Structure 1
Amino acid sequence: MTEIQTPRLLLRRWHEDDLVPMAEINADPEVMQWIGDGSVRDLEQTAEDIERWEEEWDEEGFGLFAVELLASGELAGFVGLSVPAFLPEVLPAVEIGWRLGRQFWGQGYASEAAHASLEFALQDRGLDRVISITRTGHEASENVMRKLGMELERQTTHPVYGLPLSIYAIDLTQYEA
């Protein structure tokens, strides 16, 4: 079982009791405003998401970690790696992404967890390049990307929703520099 511990967080595979807190995060319109078309997700959709994330772990050897606060055991959301199949123009690629509950914003958790996931991707899983995709103008996510050492590679449009996207990237040589 793959786990990563940072000073304040435990990044781990998903447990059955993560469903309700993750569904609460996915049901928050402020959390979801920058994701896809901005629609919230219900309990059933969240269960399908978690099942798909776990399948990606089994198939790819990486995936989205559940992010747990060490101090309280609370589920803060997710961070980790996925194949961005929704955007064929960037494939083959592995994306690092995150989604945290609003009460966990502004405390450095996304950066802390994303840094650990990036290290996992490049050093443990042997990837030589990682991208991150966000809706253009989502400053909080773009700030995390820049803190990871990622640079804006290009801009494009979401193939389904027609929304502008920014694609950041980092390769192993940039990471090691």
Structure 2
Amino acid sequence: MPEKIAPTTLTTARLLLRPPTEADIEPLLEMNTDPDVMRYIGDGNVGPADRESTAGIVARARQGWAENGYGMLSVITRDGGEYAGWVTLAVPRFLPQILPAVEIGWRFRRAFWGRGYATEAAMPLLDHAFAVVGLDRVVSIRHPDNERSGRVMEKLGLRYAEDAVVPSHGQSVVVLAITREQHLERSRQD
């Protein structure tokens, strides 16, 4: 992996993926306190419910880029400039049985579900993970009932790797994975 990779900005036909800013705190807080959005996250409870803890998420996201050369990017619609959610590369420390690993994940505000944004945002970050960061393998983790995320993972080319249990709360999860070689082969076919 390269020594230093600056926080990156990526674009797609409809989206801008950029490092999180203070302007993202309020919509991120709204998203993390929506029970429908948080249904399959962790133990299903809503996330940080105040502005201070949400600001901490933004600060840690910036720090992650500095320390690892990858991290969270805010997903902004290009047509309206709205915060739709985020996409990230992160070490899934909550699931030690699969470490070492880097996970690709996403979360979107409910108003932006069903538009293909998760796949559109995750694909260039997956490209970045292999081409720029130099990872050999990327995983993605989902609740067994989260079929929407499962479909996104399949569209990205991730395939079943193993079942696991999150030690902190006993939730079963499904781990999918893709290697750099599989990703390159898939890209050549597209």
**TM-score range normalised by the length of the shorter chain:** over 0.9
Q: Does 1:71 align with 2:76?
A: no
Structure 1 CA distance for aligned equivalents of residues 78 and 15 of structure 2: 5
Structure 1 CA distance for aligned equivalents of residues 161 and 40 of structure 2: 19
Structure 2 CA distance for aligned equivalents of residues 37 and 132 of structure 1: 17
Looking at both structures, which has the greater relative contact order when contacts are Cα pairs under 8 Å and sequence separation is at least 6? 2
Q: Give the secondary structure class of the aligned counterpart of 1:113.
A: helix
Alpha-carbon distance, 1:45 to partner: 2.5
Alpha-carbon distance, 1:10 to partner: 0.5
Range with greater deviation from structure 2 (43-52 or 126-135)? 43-52
Structure 1 segment 98-117 matched on structure 2, within 5 A: 98-117=106-125
The one-letter amino acid of 1:144's match is V
Number of paired residues? 177
1:88 pairs with 56, 71, 96, which one? 96
Structure 1 gaps of 5+ residues are none
**What's the Cα RMSD here?**
0.9
2:23 pairs with 13, 17, 20, which one? 17
* 1:14-51 alpha-carbon deviations (Å, 9 max, x no partner): 11111001101111000001001111121333222222
Structure 2 CA distance for aligned equivalents of residues 92 and 49 of structure 1: 23
The one-letter amino acid of 1:173's match is E
Q: Give the secondary structure class of the aligned counterpart of 1:59.
A: helix
Q: Give the secondary structure class of the aligned counterpart of 2:119.
A: helix
Map of 1:30 onto structure 2: 36
**TM-score normalized by the length of structure 2:** 0.91
Structure 1 segment 157-172 matched on structure 2, within 5 A: 157-172=165-180
- Aligned-residue identity in percent: 46
Structure 1 CA distance for aligned equivalents of residues 179 and 121 of structure 2: 18
Q: Give the secondary structure class of the aligned counterpart of 1:73.
A: coil
Structure 2 gaps of 5+ residues are 1-6, 186-190
Map of 2:149 onto structure 1: 141
Deviating beyond 6 angstroms after TM superposition, the runs of 4 or more aligned structure 1 residues are none
**TM-score normalized by the length of structure 1:** 0.97
